Chain A
Amino acid sequence: MSNRYTKLALSVLLPAMLLVGCSDWLTSPKAKSDPNNPTTAGRDQLLVGVETAQTTLQTGDIARLLSMWVQSMAGTQRQYSLLDNYQFDEDAFSPDWSLVYTGGGLVDIRTIESQALDAGDSVYAGVGYVLEALTMGTAADLWGDIPYSQAVSDSVITPELDPQQQVYAMIQAKLDTAITFLQCTSATCAGPGAIDLWYGQDANTDDAAQWTELAHTLKARYYMHTAEVDPGSYALALAQADSGISTPDNDLRSYQSTDPNEWNLWYQFMVIQRSGYTGAGQYMVNLLKSDDDPRLQQYYAPNSQGQIVGAPVGGGSVSASDVSATRLAPDFHQPMVTYAENQLIIAEAALHDGDPGTALTAYNAERSSQGVPTAGSVTLPDVMTEKYIALFQQIEPWNDYKRTCLPAITPARSSGVPGRLLYPLSTERNANPNIPAPSDQPQRNWNDPNPCPAP
């Protein structure tokens, strides 16, 4: 009988030993968690990703588009001829929308902020807040009402639109907090240091001070964006610009290099990927020529006939000039927020506030920094034209044009220069019922109720 029980025990116990003993089999590290990508990210690595992604938003697709719409550039071929004529569909700017919110955008900026605060590094958190303001401010400029207060939240899968007015208010509050944070001098407030591609590459500067100046200039910028509906904004902008970017050395510029992975996007687009799609815009070229402005040669290269020629809207048949070799250099650091913008905000706001002396001082300071002659008096068109020239290749001239209708370009179509972009279908509207269909979307944003004259 004992033999029988031995056999029974063997046939039950041996399998039982195999059945237990692997309790964590299904949750062993490599089986449960992706071994190819990290599941956590430090704020340093996220900051590099965010600054690179936001460089793409500020100096890529949108900057080229809006340069065409303000006619400093022109679409000369294929899809760019259509974009130049304001022909685009609902999905044309889906990837740009993604840059605002997904990896490299708000979702990662929020992680940087919370990690920095957890570590007691208010300077780092302040950098995050400024990045957030720049990113969301740009989105509010382009699309008007945008998801913000409910965006990037674990609990909301269909974020609602916040009114543009409220978005700007939240951005101003963010920047106020950022300025406070950036004052921190305690030992925990080391800030990003050399990991910061934008202000951290020069060891001899005070990065926190540069970020603080940037925050003030951005506050001034976004006050100006509400000035069309709220004239009180000029004084607020003026006050902020007084503490804004104090020297061209403190301009916010992209990081680029001669490494193919780090090439300036204008170079990549115009030389490597889509040669011939876009060229110099006729309005800007003619403006610089008529003023005998040295920036003509700084901005544009002679064409095959040795001439600097701008193409009319839609391209026409002229052989339009390229952007100059200097600005198309693979390692050209593309300006994003500058001393010039700050001084010209002062000039414009001071003119509105009846202080032409301050305006002239700021205007001439900016002109000097650009290496162009100063003036004895200044008008609003002078300021806006100078800003249009100085902020070449940036997004901001489109915002200025919508607000001031200066310089007085002739839009490509009678509908006028588009006042906003459509919400993207594939990256938002498709999955978010809070987004209206194109026919139900407003033509103009809250901050820009008055269309500019059109042919």
Chain B
Amino acid sequence: MRRRLLEFSAILGALALMAPTAHAQQEAVLTGHVTSEGGTPLPNASVFIEQTREGTLTGVDGAYRLVVPAARVTGQQVTLSVRLIGYRQESDTLALTAGTHTHDFTLVANPLRLGEVVVTGQGLTTTREKLGNVINTVDSAAITRSNETNVVNAIAAKAPNVEVTSQAGDPGASSYIRIRGPKTISGTGQPLFVVDGVPIDNSTLNTEGSTTQGTVSPNRASDINPDDIASIDILKGAAAAAIYGARAGQGVVLITTKKGQSGPTRYSLRSSYSFDDVTNGVPLQTKYGLGGLDENGVPQSPECNSLNPAAGLDCYAGVTTSFGPELPAGTPTYNHWDDLFDTGHTWDNNLSISGGNDRTLFYLSGGRTNTDGTMVGPNNWYDKTTVRLNASHQVFDNLRAGLDISYVDTRGHYTQMGSNVDGLLLGSLRTPPEFNNAEYLDPTSKLQRSYRFPFPSVASTTDSRGYDNPFFVLNEDLNQSNLSRTYGNVNLSYDPFDWLNVRETFGADYYTDQRLEGFPLTSSGQPTGQVFRTDFMNYQLDQNLIATATHTFNPSFSGSLTIGQNVNARNFQQVRVQGITLVAPQPFNLLNTINWTPDDSSVQVHSESYFAQATADLFDRLHLTAAIRNDGFSTFGSSSRRHWFPKASAAFTVLDNTNENPGLLSFLKLRAAYGETGTEPPAYSTDQVYLVGQFILDAGWGSALFANQNGLGGLLAGFTRAQPNLGPERTKEVEAGADFGFFGARGDGSLTLYNDRTVGAIFLAPLANSTGYGQQAQNAGTIRNRGVEVALNVRPIMNPDLTWEIGLQWARNQNQVLDLSGQQFVDLPTGGYFTGAIATAWKGSGLGVIRGADFARCGRGLNIDGVNIDQACGNAPKGALYIDSTGFPVVDPTNRVIADGNPKWTGSVRTAVTWHKIQLSGLLDIRHGGQTWNGTRGALVSFGTSAFTLDRGVQRTFGQDIMPGAVAGPGAGDPVVIDENWYAGNGGGFGPVASQFIEDASFVKLREISLGYTLDQPWVTRNLGFSSIDLRVAGRNLHTWTDYTGIDPESNLGGAAVLIQGIDYFNNPQTRSFVISVGLNR
């Protein structure tokens, strides 16, 4: 029987317990073929000698050839094993003697992935059947098929309860990932990313420090070249992630990169080219022009508009809405959406060279991605260049040294968006249909013209344009980022005894990101021009030392014990200077501005942790794991400097007949786990500080005095009181489930139930100001997430020439804020702030719900302007819309939950067909429920440019053809005229009622579709010199089925920088792609 206990060290590729004594005369050559049960040759299978870890890969024809140097050929008994993802491992024993040995292997499909190595974190691995908790694995083929340059996007719809939301379709946009629901109030809810055992930074940094305006920003995990990834293991719950302690509260994404294999040097070149265009637009009207109602309620054009240049060159159109008269027939109109976009392209090239011999292995790769975005103009692109080297060397028979280093250079030019008068869509979509934005410079003055400022004179260099012309935004603004990043590790693996492995990994991640935003003269946000210069510097050092002892007591009882230490330092610095008022129009340079406001800060966090894990395997059926981690963080209060995070799990294989007589139920494993993880507090919450550089506000009126006066420095006691006892937020989770297979390899599935409770969630609780302080961080919130995850895979056809596989995933997470220490709600500190639609944690509701105002409804006990609404409602059902005597609904100013962005359930459908060398696959991503605040629609109905305002002047009856549903009250059933007064008032986005712009954001998205063909006939090698050529055409996000009326239900203004999802306010649009890809292998 094979010893599985050393598998952990196998994945490290490190153990070499060579037998060095005797010397033979000749080398040994091991050859053979590896095929599937159907006889298909299996390329890329790993063939290796268990005892010496010498190995190679099979070729396209399934053949392998492994040469053992004469010095190590002593006639000893060795185990020759073959491993390939998707197949069960096979082994053969032989006496290693000089000469040629031929061993053919037939691999049995292994859909349950039993025996496959799973990375469990902190340098530990196990095999899948021993897992007592869920770890979802995404392999390199799935990542490649996704055609995504951002690794987070690549795992969308690949694992249940792993939700991925792309911020926008801009090149370089961030992507938000949420695993089993939100669990924190104060953070961004993003999981920990770990590459080859070393944590890396995944911040999303806005140049201006805002989450509602500025440009998209990459989440920094997108710096990883997806082509370098061998597999991604997602530790979803606390039971899986406890080994990462106080950094794992939001889950952990473990990325394992590709490594070299001994044997002939292999070359691979993969190139793809994509055609990208924007998806859903925003419905706009082209019937009515600039104007509004006069005192008689008749639409009038203002005298001052773009069609009437005679009104005067400096004519400033005080009227900004499109509620004017119907445009005369023949008036040219412009599509303010389509005009801005054309076809973008992504050109992605990756080259890798790998190989090695029995002592040294290497993998060298380079990648280059050029993305030209879908917006017209020169300032919408993102380029990424990566270089990576992984190498290892067997220094002594029991000591292996390794190196992994990546260098990344990303540069981008981005586009202003969001709640921002300099934003692209804000100005464009508010423009009346008859105004031609394309002529963004006045022909005479050469200055910016916009619909609110159509005729700028030469003198109007510093007059506000109201909103920027979108073509001015695209052509004249500068928003750039230049990032250099190096990350990787050096490692040593030492095997002093055959039962003990000691491994040291020292990793680092360092980057600088230089940002520059330049707004020219006449920009609406700052008509005198301004420059933001921001430098971000981030580094992380990580030292990890683990020792693992393994012992087999008898064939039915074996076990392992690991102890380890982790020391980590993170340092983040930013220097941001805002320069206002340009001296000369160019360059965008701080020295070329007059007033400077600096904002510089740094954060340093140290942690030191110890962990231990014990495993026991009984009768090859029962697998027990227990682990504990002790974390010390500099961010913890001095009185609670260290915290424990335990976990325990059990996996019991009830039935395993997959190899024998496959009945209905051929495999059944039951598992249960408990674990605890944490989220560390914000840095420096434990210190009482005095604030420098503060403005002392004159209430909320905008006026203020600076604390430094007359050249004298002033300090103020910080408004936030120190919390010396602050500890981590703690998530405790129970998880249980079953993995099963049926009809042999025909089908498999899994079912998982979990219930977790986060206690001590941190938020700033208000303090009585008479204490001298206004607020204090508290470990005071309790949040629950519980859910179900189901996966089912069936393979109706499993012929050697034709296979068909279908995979279904379904997951539900129910989130509830159970307690906020007496508060009804706590607003989320990370973004999503819009008047009337505020992201919040609300006791009894979900975390990240939106609070705001609704129209008055029956059954709420309302008393509005002296009217008892419930009495006036009579017998109307609870929730019926109250209509007053004017025939309109009235505002209920009560603050309440109006939207919940958390989906009811999510799922995916995947299918793959292989016929000879043709592969066809598709992936549908499904989200059911979850709401988005369509603030864009709210604003555009107020401006009259939305197609939803085409019913202006029409009589409508509330409850019938507007806001259908039950109505009550004195005016119920009375028809009213819907016009500008309604849309600019309570019926629009600038009125108090945000609830009417909450929309269901359910969708079904054709996430991926791919058709591939592999050329590996002998003539390919003979005539072209390649072992194989992969050809593929693919589509990404080709179609979305949704009722959402905005740009895309999968969009979020703040991206991965904010916890809240479901905020749509002039976000830049999403894109879809058509991709052609060629891979050359040798």
**Structural contact, A111 and B717, CB atoms closer than 8 A:** yes
**Structural contact, A49 and B494, CB atoms closer than 8 A:** no
**Structural contact, B690 and A272, CB atoms closer than 8 A:** no
**Structural contact, B714 and A32, CB atoms closer than 8 A:** no
In the bound complex, how far is the Cα of B774 from the Cα of A428, in angstroms?
9
Known contacts A33-B684, A197-B712; decide if A428 and B698 are in contact (CB<8 Å): no
- Per a CB cutoff under 8 Å, which of A10, A28, A268 touches B606? A28
- Per a CB cutoff under 8 Å, which of A15, A56, A102 touches B772? A102
**Structural contact, A34 and B689, CB atoms closer than 8 A:** yes
The listed residue with most A CB atoms (<10 A of its CB), out of B497, B709, B715, is B715
**Structural contact, A95 and B545, CB atoms closer than 8 A:** no
**Structural contact, A107 and B709, CB atoms closer than 8 A:** no
**Structural contact, B769 and A427, CB atoms closer than 8 A:** yes
Q: Does A37 contact B (CB under 8 A)?
A: yes
**Structural contact, B641 and A26, CB atoms closer than 8 A:** yes
**Structural contact, A103 and B716, CB atoms closer than 8 A:** yes
**Structural contact, A151 and B709, CB atoms closer than 8 A:** no
The residues of A that contact B714 with a CB separation of less than 8 Å are: 45-46, 48-49, 52
Q: Does B290 contact A (CB under 8 A)?
A: no
In the bound complex, how far is the Cα of B705 from the Cα of A44, in angstroms?
18
Number of chain A residues close to chain B: CB under 8 A: 88
Known contacts A26-B632, A37-B692; decide if A102 and B717 are in contact (CB<8 Å): yes
The residues of B that contact A428 with a CB separation of less than 8 Å are: 768-770
Q: Does B633 contact A (CB under 8 A)?
A: yes
The residues of B that contact A100 with a CB separation of less than 8 Å are: 769
Q: Does A124 contact B (CB under 8 A)?
A: no
Q: Does A157 contact B (CB under 8 A)?
A: yes
**Structural contact, A101 and B687, CB atoms closer than 8 A:** no
Q: Does A390 contact B (CB under 8 A)?
A: no
**Structural contact, B769 and A273, CB atoms closer than 8 A:** no
In the bound complex, how far is the Cα of B707 from the Cα of A56, in angstroms?
11
Q: Does A187 contact B (CB under 8 A)?
A: no
Q: Does B628 contact A (CB under 8 A)?
A: no
Known contacts A26-B641, A93-B699; decide if A48 and B766 are in contact (CB<8 Å): no
The residues of B that contact A19 with a CB separation of less than 8 Å are: 545, 565
Known contacts A15-B565, A53-B716; decide if A27 and B634 are in contact (CB<8 Å): yes
Known contacts A18-B565, A37-B690, A273-B702; decide if A48 and B709 are in contact (CB<8 Å): yes
In the bound complex, how far is the Cα of B770 from the Cα of A424, in angstroms?
11
**Structural contact, B688 and A15, CB atoms closer than 8 A:** no
In the bound complex, how far is the Cα of B634 from the Cα of A35, in angstroms?
13
**Structural contact, B716 and A108, CB atoms closer than 8 A:** yes
Of B274-282, B597-605, B791-799, B1059-1067, the one with at least 4 CB within 8 A of chain A: B597-605
The residues of A that contact B765 with a CB separation of less than 8 Å are: 431
Known contacts A18-B543, A30-B604; decide if A55 and B768 are in contact (CB<8 Å): no
The A/B interface has a contact count, at CB < 8 Å, of 244
Q: Does A156 contact B (CB under 8 A)?
A: yes
In the bound complex, how far is the Cα of B691 from the Cα of A49, in angstroms?
10
**Structural contact, A15 and B766, CB atoms closer than 8 A:** no
In the bound complex, how far is the Cα of B581 from the Cα of A424, in angstroms?
39
B725 CB, min distance to chain A CBs, angstroms: 14
In the bound complex, how far is the Cα of B503 from the Cα of A14, in angstroms?
11
**Structural contact, A152 and B705, CB atoms closer than 8 A:** no
Q: Does A188 contact B (CB under 8 A)?
A: no
**Structural contact, A103 and B547, CB atoms closer than 8 A:** no
In the bound complex, how far is the Cα of B696 from the Cα of A157, in angstroms?
24
**Structural contact, B634 and A32, CB atoms closer than 8 A:** yes
B284 CB, min distance to chain A CBs, angstroms: 32
The residues of A that contact B636 with a CB separation of less than 8 Å are: 26
Q: Does A257 contact B (CB under 8 A)?
A: yes
**Structural contact, A41 and B706, CB atoms closer than 8 A:** no
Interface digits, A100-123 against B, CB 8 Å rule (1 contact, 0 not)?
A: 111111111001000000000000
The listed residue with most A CB atoms (<10 A of its CB), out of B494, B543, B774, is B774
Q: Does A203 contact B (CB under 8 A)?
A: no
Q: Does A158 contact B (CB under 8 A)?
A: yes
**Structural contact, A426 and B717, CB atoms closer than 8 A:** no
In the bound complex, how far is the Cα of B718 from the Cα of A105, in angstroms?
11
**Structural contact, A26 and B604, CB atoms closer than 8 A:** no
**Structural contact, A31 and B701, CB atoms closer than 8 A:** no
Interface digits, B546-565 against A, CB 8 Å rule (1 contact, 0 not)?
A: 01000000000000000001
Closest to B705 in A: A52
Known contacts A18-B543, A48-B714; decide if A151 and B771 are in contact (CB<8 Å): yes
Known contacts A7-B497, A15-B502; decide if A106 and B632 are in contact (CB<8 Å): no
A270 CB, min distance to chain B CBs, angstroms: 9
Q: Does A376 contact B (CB under 8 A)?
A: no
In the bound complex, how far is the Cα of B569 from the Cα of A273, in angstroms?
45
**Structural contact, A273 and B701, CB atoms closer than 8 A:** yes
In the bound complex, how far is the Cα of B547 from the Cα of A48, in angstroms?
58
Interface residues of A in 380-414 (CB under 8 A from B): none
Known contacts A102-B772, A153-B771, A157-B767; decide if A38 and B689 are in contact (CB<8 Å): yes
Q: Does B208 contact A (CB under 8 A)?
A: no
In the bound complex, how far is the Cα of B699 from the Cα of A426, in angstroms?
13
Known contacts A269-B703, A432-B770; decide if A60 and B688 are in contact (CB<8 Å): no
Closest to A32 in B: B634
Q: Does A159 contact B (CB under 8 A)?
A: yes
**Structural contact, A18 and B545, CB atoms closer than 8 A:** yes
In the bound complex, how far is the Cα of B769 from the Cα of A97, in angstroms?
8
The residues of B that contact A102 with a CB separation of less than 8 Å are: 717, 719, 769, 772-774
Interface digits, B769-792 against A, CB 8 Å rule (1 contact, 0 not)?
A: 111111000000000000000000
**Structural contact, B715 and A38, CB atoms closer than 8 A:** yes
Q: Does A141 contact B (CB under 8 A)?
A: no
Q: Does A202 contact B (CB under 8 A)?
A: no
A334 CB, min distance to chain B CBs, angstroms: 11
**Structural contact, A103 and B691, CB atoms closer than 8 A:** yes
In the bound complex, how far is the Cα of B494 from the Cα of A11, in angstroms?
8
**Structural contact, B703 and A25, CB atoms closer than 8 A:** no
The residues of A that contact B718 with a CB separation of less than 8 Å are: 37, 103
Interface residues of A in 41-89 (CB under 8 A from B): 41-42, 44-46, 48-49, 51-53, 55-56, 60-61
Interface digits, A1-30 against B, CB 8 Å rule (1 contact, 0 not)?
A: 000100110110011001100100111101
In the bound complex, how far is the Cα of B714 from the Cα of A255, in angstroms?
13
A207 CB, min distance to chain B CBs, angstroms: 15
The residues of B that contact A34 with a CB separation of less than 8 Å are: 683-684, 687, 689
Known contacts A197-B710, A268-B698; decide if A38 and B705 are in contact (CB<8 Å): no
Q: Does A317 contact B (CB under 8 A)?
A: no
Closest to A194 in B: B712
**Structural contact, A37 and B689, CB atoms closer than 8 A:** yes
- Per a CB cutoff under 8 Å, which of A26, A104, A269, A432 touches B698? A269
The residues of A that contact B606 with a CB separation of less than 8 Å are: 25-26, 28, 31
Known contacts A101-B769, A273-B703, A426-B766; decide if A39 and B687 are in contact (CB<8 Å): yes
Known contacts A15-B565, A22-B567; decide if A195 and B712 are in contact (CB<8 Å): yes
Interface residues of B in 707-730 (CB under 8 A from A): 707-710, 712-719
- Per a CB cutoff under 8 Å, which of A48, A268, A430 touches B713? A48
Q: Does B500 contact A (CB under 8 A)?
A: yes
**Structural contact, A159 and B689, CB atoms closer than 8 A:** no
| Further 19 A-B residue pairs, CB within 8 A, beyond A36-B600, A98-B719 | A7-B496, A15-B502, A25-B606, A33-B687, A35-B602, A38-B692, A45-B712, A46-B715, A49-B714, A101-B772, A103-B719, A104-B717, A152-B771, A158-B768, A268-B703, A268-B704, A274-B701, A424-B769, A427-B774
Can you list 30 residue pairs at the A/B interface with Cβ under 8 Å? Answer: A7-B497, A11-B494, A22-B608, A26-B634, A31-B569, A33-B687, A34-B684, A36-B602, A36-B684, A41-B690, A45-B712, A45-B713, A46-B714, A52-B705, A52-B707, A56-B698, A56-B705, A95-B698, A100-B769, A102-B719, A102-B773, A102-B774, A103-B691, A104-B696, A153-B771, A262-B709, A262-B710, A268-B704, A428-B769, A431-B767
Which 4 residue pairs across A and B have the least CB separation, nearest first? A107-B772, A103-B716, A48-B714, A268-B703
B residues with a Cβ closer than 8 A to A are 494, 496-497, 500, 502, 504, 543, 545, 547, 565, 567, 569, 595, 600-608, 632-634, 636, 638, 641, 683-684, 687-692, 694-710, 712-719, 765-774
